[in-house]
Amino acid sequence: MFCDGVRENLRCKKVATYLLCKNISAHMEAKAKSIAPWQDRVGHARQSINSETQLSGDDIEMTVSHGVNYGRYLEKGTHPHDIKRTSVKNKKYTIHHPGTKSYPAIIPAAEYGKKQLDMAIKKLWEE
**What does the pLDDT average to over 8-25?**
92
Query: Pseudo-torsion of CA 92, 94, 83, 39, nearest 10°?
Result: -120
Residue 98 has pLDDT above 90, yes or no: yes
Residue 9 has pLDDT above 90, yes or no: no
CA distances from 104 to 70, 109, 124 (A): 12, 9, 31
pTM of the model: 0.82
54 strand-pairing partners: 61
Cα 118 to Cα 120: distance, rounded to the nearest angstrom: 6
Residue 1 has pLDDT above 80, yes or no: no
Q: What is the pLDDT of residues 17-65, one digit of tens each?
A: 999 999 999 999 999 999 999 988 888 999 999 999 999 988 999 999 9
What is the pLDDT, as a whole number, of residue 126? Answer: 85
CA distances from 118 to 5, 35, 78, 124 (A): 26, 21, 32, 10
Question: What band does 114 get if pLDDT is binned at 50, 70 and 90?
Answer: very high
